[in-house]
A and B are shown apart, each in its own frame.
Chain A
Amino acid sequence: MIQQNSRNGPARVGIGGPVGSGKTALIEQLIPRFIKRGNEIAVITNDLVTREDAKRLQRSGLLAPERIVAVEAGACPHTVIREDPTLNSQAAENLDREFEHLDVILIESGGDNLASTFSLDLVDYWMFVIDTSEGDDIPRKRGPGIVQSDLLVINKVDLAPFVGADVNLMVKEGLEVRGGKHLVLTNCKTGEGIEEVANHIINNVLFD
């Protein structure tokens, strides 16, 4: 494993997607996996006018509370991860200063629409989380988040039969609109697919 501080600071990984798609649940699944492999981790959450996601993660006990920082977007969530990511950049720099051996900072966007994307000034790698209950036509709607993200995560695969969603269709059309870029199927309640998500992060920005 590369010592990140000899490699220009910790990796920054963005996690975006619509409200309720499972962004926070994905982070809850990723944290123990990174800790288990010896990575030092911190999290930045973005909410509109509250700190709900940060509080949820702090309550989970998965990570020391001081390693979880909340940013209140105050407006459309995409503005603070794309148009002007200063608040998040500063939060990341503060964490980097405070915890000198950090390997990775996960930055969770506030829930947004399919047009939400991350500035590459802010993050090194970003994923977009959708879920089957939003409808199996979501991938072919070609939102910028779906098309441009480094990794598309289709969550709640367990719910597909109950909401009449065709997961195979979502995969087929997801790959088509993304030009073959990776996507992963997950169930963030059980951990299904999370190892694969972690491996994408490790391979692309932790370089193991």
Chain B
Amino acid sequence: MIHITEILGHVHDSNLSGTLHDLSHRNEVEYIILDRSNLLRRRFRAKTDQGTDCAVSISRLAKLTNGAVLLLESNRAIVVKMSEEQWLRLRPRDISCAIEIGYFAGNMHWRVKFEKECLSIAVESPEEIYLERLKDFFTTGKIRRIDHDE
């Protein structure tokens, strides 16, 4: 187990990027993959994508970001990578449906973003849970799910 107690910098920092570049050519950069919500953690146990067991315990004033460098040695680096966020993109049928789905999503404490006429809900647990809760909205035609290119 490797103990990590500080963030050394970011992959784009000029004093780190050269070494990281060299290590990556030798497949010696390992990643701890975290979703957005888990970037808030300061003390946790995680395995890198190559299976290295890490005990992370950073200052409560520090903040993990996508690309944070946690370890940099001559033959190994460990970097945080944020997993791609999944969104459920919904288009309400009309204004009253938009108000209703907006209220519902807020009441469910779901994280959302607005994209033109669509409401996008961050999928932070199994997607079926969201779809089940939204079942009545779908079956009554109040909302429909759309792909990004629609």
- The interface of chain A, by Cβ under 8 A from chain B, is 2, 6-9, 11-12, 115, 117, 119-121, 124-125, 142, 144, 147-148, 177, 179, 203-205, 207
Contacts and interface: CB of A to CB of B under 8 A. Distances in A.
Interface residues of B, number: 21
Interface string B18-47: 000000000000000000011011111100
Given A121-B40, A147-B129, A207-B1, 19 more contacts: A2-B57, A7-B3, A7-B57, A8-B5, A8-B42, A119-B40, A120-B38, A120-B40, A124-B42, A125-B44, A142-B129, A144-B109, A177-B126, A177-B129, A203-B45, A205-B43, A207-B3, A207-B55, A207-B57
A120 B37 contact: yes
B41 A179 contact: no
Contacts, number: 53
Interface string B40-64: 1111110000000001011110000
Given A115-B109, A204-B44, A204-B45, A179 B57 contact: no
A9 B60 contact: yes
A6 B59 CA distance: 10
B118 to A, nearest CB: 24
The majority secondary structure among interface residues of chain A is loop
B14 interface: no
28 contacts: A2-B3, A7-B3, A7-B5, A7-B57, A8-B42, A8-B57, A9-B60, A11-B43, A12-B43, A117-B109, A119-B40, A120-B41, A124-B44, A142-B129, A147-B125, A147-B129, A148-B124, A177-B126, A177-B129, A179-B125, A179-B126, A204-B44, A205-B43, A205-B44, A205-B45, A207-B1, A207-B45, A207-B55
Nearest to A4: B57
B44 A148 contact: no
Contacts of B5: 6-8
A145 to B, nearest CB: 11
Q: Which of A6, A119, A142, A203 has the most CB of B within 10 A?
A: A142
A141 to B, nearest CB: 11
A24 B40 CA distance: 27
Contacts of B124: 148
A205 B37 CA distance: 17
A6 B55 CA distance: 13
Nearest to B42: A124
A8 B45 contact: no
B131 to A, nearest CB: 12
Contacts of A142: 129
B125 to A, nearest CB: 5
B107 to A, nearest CB: 10
